Amino acid sequence: MTIQQLTYFLAALDHGSFSAAAEALHMAQPSLSEQVRRLEAELGVRLFQRGGRGLVPTEAGRSLRDHAQRVLDDVEVAREAVAETRELRGGTATFGTWGAARFYPGTQIVADFRRKFPKVRLRLLGLNSADVAEAVREGELEVGMVALPIDDRGLDVQPIMRDELVYASADPAMLREPKTILDVAAAPLVMFDASYAAEDPTRRQLAALAQAAGVALEPQIDVEDVEMAIELAARGLGDTLVSRGIIHSMGRRMPRRLGWVPFAEPVYDTFAFIQRRDARISPASREFLAVAEARLRALAAELDAKPPRSRLPDVA
């Protein structure tokens, strides 16, 4: 059974005769009817009753129709998918992320994608996760990467990795043991993402933990940028909360006079890809997601080993 035979069979069924089907397909009638006869021989049944009224499908022919149509539809989808990838020679891939996503690992993802598709333009919009979710929901962005939780109305959410949150301080006395949410609520905190404080997923998660414990998180210093929060904490102006992924990404730029410990009950940021539910995304965006997923899964594996879950500050 071949795709060609199924195509000729459906054409004959739709047009009611071999000659009309052959004319519609711009081919010779004997070639078409011969392929249908070969299909009947392979299946061991007659698909048509041939008579004065033209072709009338048998019960077997009627049974085959839906199956044949599904096969041809699937073949067409496969052809389009391959053609789209093969023809990815231009256009723009636009991807929304939260502000600190450059640490996870943004430059490597861009470099990998550009090596694979050098003629496709990239636009990476650094927003907050809540804004990314809204932009995808409204169709302003095809896809995005967010920290959970978000409002997922109308969205497909694909969690991709998680990253442990740690408590960072320049004071060794603050790092004697893992922290509870009560410890964090009582500490002088420096927090980042000031503009999105109420909507930031990490803050929302911590606020829920604090609320369950009957306390509130009230930072002493609020800033926008995570690196500024880390630098202020390293200067002893307060303690901060940062993920191990950011520590890993900063490498030697992470101040040595800053140490950290995990939470007594580990707390994680969870990152996910999002797109509109049931929406078909462009080939460029689909390929960018594939590259990003590979890099993020590799990072998640690295974080199982480094950086350490705790470190004392270098006070020398």
Model pLDDT for residues 262-309, shown as the tens digit of each residue: 999 999 999 999 999 988 888 888 889 999 999 999 999 999 888 999
Name 239's bridge partners.
189
Task: Retrieve residue 67's tokens.
Answer: 């199956």
Query: Which residue type, as a one-letter code, is found at position 246?
Result: I
First to last CA, the chain: 78
- Inside any domain, residue 315: no
Residue-wise pLDDT for 107-138, tens only, equals: 888 899 989 888 888 888 877 898 999 999 99
Residue type, 11: A
Residue 149 and residue 69 share a domain: no
Asked if residue 105 is part of any domain, the answer here is: yes
- Assess contact for 179 and 266: CB atoms under 8 A: no
My answer on whether 213 and 175 are in the same domain is yes
CA atoms within 13 A on the CB side of 287: 26
Last residue of a domain, one of 86, 105, 127: 86
What's the pLDDT at 86?
A: 55
Residues 80 and 97 both lie in one domain: no
Q: Are residues 57 and 100 in the same domain?
A: no
State the total domains in the chain: 2
Q: Which portions of the chain are predicted below pLDDT 70? A: 51-53, 81-91, 316
Query: What CATH number is associated with residue 33?
Result: 1.10.10.10
Question: How much is the pTM?
Answer: 0.70
Q: Residue 270's domain spans which residues?
A: 92-303
Alpha carbon distance 81, 152 (integer Å): 27
Among 32, 51, 86, residue at a domain's last position: 86
How much is the pLDDT for 229?
96
pLDDT computed for residue 55 by the predictor: 85
Last residue within a domain, chosen from 86, 117, 150: 86
Question: What is the rounded distance in angstroms from the CA atom of residue 144 to the CA atom of residue 98?
Answer: 9
Question: Are 99 and 81 within one domain?
Answer: no
